[in-house]
Homo-oligomer: A and B are copies of this chain.
């Protein structure tokens, strides 16, 4: 007899409760509550091939409520992905199991996105749906024609980012995006009515979404709602009314099932209630076969697609795009642009340099999709012929994200994870605080997204302390697997852009100035100097007594200070350090050459950066000098602020002289 829907769904429930019980840690309530919806989705709607998790035209499935990770582990295992194995599931939440507490895209190929920080999964799904439509516009239905499905919980919907994601998706009419809301009316603290009275469905409708509702435990109703979602041209919310921990006779419907094992006795009672007689981690053959059949059905679908796809004239280009390869010739374009800069140096704000760099890049690399969170003219992110990405024309390469920094950064992660697109997006550096959780999640996910962060210091001037970054650059440096670039002029800006684009597995943040900077790189160089993270921009003429280490807009100040000191016979190197992370990766010999580790007193190291000094001790070492700003800024014209905070060549020279005379 063919297993029933309930049998299939109960296989998920059993794996979830057993794995959580074995780990004595985890979240059984969500997978048990959403087992019915997930079963219907995978059986009747989701386009996937367990044997080819990277099939370019697969539907993307994002478990935004990432704490319910056992749901996706169960689904991947049951439908026949190579991983996770039953052993992996047995080792749920143990060291080195790919079945981590929350789903990690870098541990399991079937996991499209790392989720857990609430709200971000759905917001990344918006980016995936954007990438799909954009690639469809470029490559056609034969190659790109898929959907993005999301399972989200109340947490995802209450978080602020949900508003941004929903607003963006509604505005862009992303009809391929379908969100199933696990409407179980329970949060960790208790019933949702402890903290919210919102009519969620009305809110989604107000943002231009199609809204369907159904009993989340009725397979036919779920199927009908999913069909309706697919048929509607708007993005869809399916409000699936569910019972958290469904099947647990004494705990279902309560927050007790949310984040803890049910306990041996309740697991046994649940087995009884569900009529599930198999031992823990055993899936009866007939049920497993039925699940595997879904996977095989998908493989067949994939094969048919492949045959058609490979006959398309765009196949080669499409594949290269999806692999994330940069087109031949882009490096020549970069090199020739840099040669032009060196030939005719000029003063320019690095945000403007970034715009000029992007003109070259966007012409050479069709995969870039840029945008800004409503600061296009300030971030200088719209560069060259891009067209606007809009509901009427998804081929455009420029996104007006609106005043949604966090939503933008999360959508960028989604695009990067989808593939075929290299996203960049702009805001003021200060507002990286708003998008920070997505910048971090992109770093964890190894997603190539470039955050263009302008107005990078007190140099922005009159807007004052609410808008002046102090700790932002250093705080970004503290995030693992994020390259933070602070280029000093137009040449470094292009070099940093090139490095950001080349690194497939590391997102980048570019800190750029509002104010003009003189060009400090005026000679042709061998290769990309910024690739070393730090390099000697100027060598001492006299006996070396001082090494300046400066970044971005302070490099030219360090150069001027060095020249003044040289006139007094104090030999000074000036090291430009546009990227700490890349410098840390250099061989010890190189680092020692640039920043020799001599005895204190022999050479004074001086850092110059218009931001917090926290962290600079690492480079200036014992008895060094860090010139920075360890308080909030102020509102005034930029020149007045630089003078007030001691960022003039004279002020720097004074502090160095004072330090030299005291040591």
Partner-B contacts on A (CB < 8 A)? 23, 25-26, 66-67, 93-97, 100-102, 104, 114-118, 154-155, 158-164, 167-168, 170-171, 187-190, 194-200, 202-203, 205-208, 372, 374-378, 400-407, 430-431, 433-434, 436-437, 440-441, 443-444, 461-467, 470-471, 474-475, 477-481, 599-600, 612, 614-615, 617-618, 621-622, 630-632, 634-637, 640-641, 644
Q: In the complex, A199→B600 CA distance in Å?
A: 64
Known: A95-B640, A622-B600, A622-B621. A404 touches B464 (CB 8 A): no
Q: In the complex, A202→B407 CA distance in Å?
A: 21
What residues of B have a CB within 8 angstroms of the CB of A202 in the complex?
202-203, 205-206
A388 vs chain B, min Cβ distance (A): 8
Query: Can you list 23 pairs linking A and B with CB atoms under 8 Å apart?
Result: A25-B461, A94-B636, A97-B635, A102-B466, A102-B467, A118-B403, A158-B163, A159-B160, A159-B405, A160-B160, A160-B164, A160-B404, A160-B434, A170-B197, A187-B374, A198-B207, A199-B206, A200-B206, A202-B203, A480-B631, A480-B632, A481-B631, A599-B600
CB closest chain-B residue, reference A430: B117
What residues of B have a CB within 8 angstroms of the CB of A632 in the complex?
443-444, 480-481
Across the interface, do A614 and B478 meet the contact criterion of CB distance under 8 Å? yes
Interface SS of chain A:
loop
What residues of B have a CB within 8 angstroms of the CB of A461 in the complex?
25
A129 vs chain B, min Cβ distance (A): 16
CB closest chain-B residue, reference A405: B159
Across the interface, do B117 and A431 meet the contact criterion of CB distance under 8 Å? yes
Contacting residue for A194 out of B117, B154, B400, B614, CB 8 A: B400
Across the interface, do B466 and A471 meet the contact criterion of CB distance under 8 Å? no
Contacting residue for A114 out of B159, B466, B470, CB 8 A: B466
A622 vs chain B, min Cβ distance (A): 4
A597 vs chain B, min Cβ distance (A): 8
What residues of B have a CB within 8 angstroms of the CB of A188 in the complex?
374-378
Q: In the complex, A462→B67 CA distance in Å?
A: 11
Q: Pick from A101, A375, A406, A474 the residue with the most CB of B within 10 Å.
A: A101
Contacting residue for A198 out of B115, B170, B617, CB 8 A: B170
Across the interface, do B466 and A470 meet the contact criterion of CB distance under 8 Å? no
Q: In the complex, A190→B208 CA distance in Å?
A: 21
A412 vs chain B, min Cβ distance (A): 15
Across the interface, do A195 and B101 meet the contact criterion of CB distance under 8 Å? no
Across the interface, do A161 and B158 meet the contact criterion of CB distance under 8 Å? no
Across the interface, do B462 and A93 meet the contact criterion of CB distance under 8 Å? yes
Across the interface, do B187 and A198 meet the contact criterion of CB distance under 8 Å? no
Across the interface, do A154 and B403 meet the contact criterion of CB distance under 8 Å? yes
A618 vs chain B, min Cβ distance (A): 4
Across the interface, do B167 and A158 meet the contact criterion of CB distance under 8 Å? yes
Across the interface, do B163 and A634 meet the contact criterion of CB distance under 8 Å? no
Across the interface, do A100 and B634 meet the contact criterion of CB distance under 8 Å? yes
Across the interface, do B622 and A618 meet the contact criterion of CB distance under 8 Å? no
Q: Pick from A163, A470, A480 the residue with the most CB of B within 10 Å.
A: A163
Q: In the complex, A378→B27 CA distance in Å?
A: 14
18 additional A-B residue pairs with CB within 8 Å, beyond A94-B636, A160-B434: A95-B640, A95-B641, A115-B466, A117-B433, A158-B167, A162-B163, A171-B195, A187-B402, A188-B375, A188-B377, A197-B207, A198-B208, A433-B437, A471-B480, A477-B614, A478-B614, A481-B632, A615-B618
Across the interface, do A100 and B401 meet the contact criterion of CB distance under 8 Å? no
Q: In the complex, A199→B208 CA distance in Å?
A: 8
Known: A433-B437, A466-B441, A631-B480. A637 touches B406 (CB 8 A): no
CB closest chain-B residue, reference A472: B478
CB closest chain-B residue, reference A155: B403
What residues of B have a CB within 8 angstroms of the CB of A463 in the complex?
67, 101-102, 116
Q: In the complex, A434→B438 CA distance in Å?
A: 9
Q: In the complex, A614→B613 CA distance in Å?
A: 12
What residues of B have a CB within 8 angstroms of the CB of A465 in the complex?
100, 104, 444
A585 vs chain B, min Cβ distance (A): 12
Across the interface, do B94 and A637 meet the contact criterion of CB distance under 8 Å? yes
A647 vs chain B, min Cβ distance (A): 14
Across the interface, do B208 and A197 meet the contact criterion of CB distance under 8 Å? yes
Q: Pick from A168, A377, A479 the residue with the most CB of B within 10 Å.
A: A479
Q: In the complex, A436→B167 CA distance in Å?
A: 23
What residues of B have a CB within 8 angstroms of the CB of A615 in the complex?
478, 614-615, 617-618
CB closest chain-B residue, reference A478: B471
What residues of B have a CB within 8 angstroms of the CB of A95 in the complex?
634-637, 640-641, 644
A410 vs chain B, min Cβ distance (A): 10
What residues of B have a CB within 8 angstroms of the CB of A26 in the complex?
462
Q: In the complex, A23→B637 CA distance in Å?
A: 9
What residues of B have a CB within 8 angstroms of the CB of A159 in the complex?
160, 163-164, 403-405, 434
What residues of B have a CB within 8 angstroms of the CB of A621 in the complex?
617, 621-622
Across the interface, do B93 and A195 meet the contact criterion of CB distance under 8 Å? no
A631 vs chain B, min Cβ distance (A): 5
Q: In the complex, A194→B376 CA distance in Å?
A: 12
Across the interface, do B467 and A195 meet the contact criterion of CB distance under 8 Å? no
Across the interface, do A206 and B195 meet the contact criterion of CB distance under 8 Å? no
Across the interface, do A464 and B102 meet the contact criterion of CB distance under 8 Å? yes
What residues of B have a CB within 8 angstroms of the CB of A187 in the complex?
374, 402-403
Across the interface, do A158 and B622 meet the contact criterion of CB distance under 8 Å? no
Contacting residue for A467 out of B101, B197, B198, B637, CB 8 A: B101
What residues of B have a CB within 8 angstroms of the CB of A634 in the complex?
95, 100
Q: In the complex, A434→B475 CA distance in Å?
A: 14
Q: In the complex, A612→B476 CA distance in Å?
A: 12
Across the interface, do A635 and B170 meet the contact criterion of CB distance under 8 Å? no
Q: In the complex, A67→B475 CA distance in Å?
A: 26
A571 vs chain B, min Cβ distance (A): 22
CB closest chain-B residue, reference A464: B101
Across the interface, do B206 and A198 meet the contact criterion of CB distance under 8 Å? yes
A494 vs chain B, min Cβ distance (A): 25
What residues of B have a CB within 8 angstroms of the CB of A480 in the complex?
470-471, 612, 630-632
Kindly list the 9 A-B residue pairs having the minimum CB-CB distance in the complex, ordered from nearest: A160-B160, A195-B402, A163-B163, A471-B478, A100-B635, A116-B466, A622-B622, A202-B206, A95-B636
Across the interface, do A189 and B372 meet the contact criterion of CB distance under 8 Å? yes
A551 vs chain B, min Cβ distance (A): 15
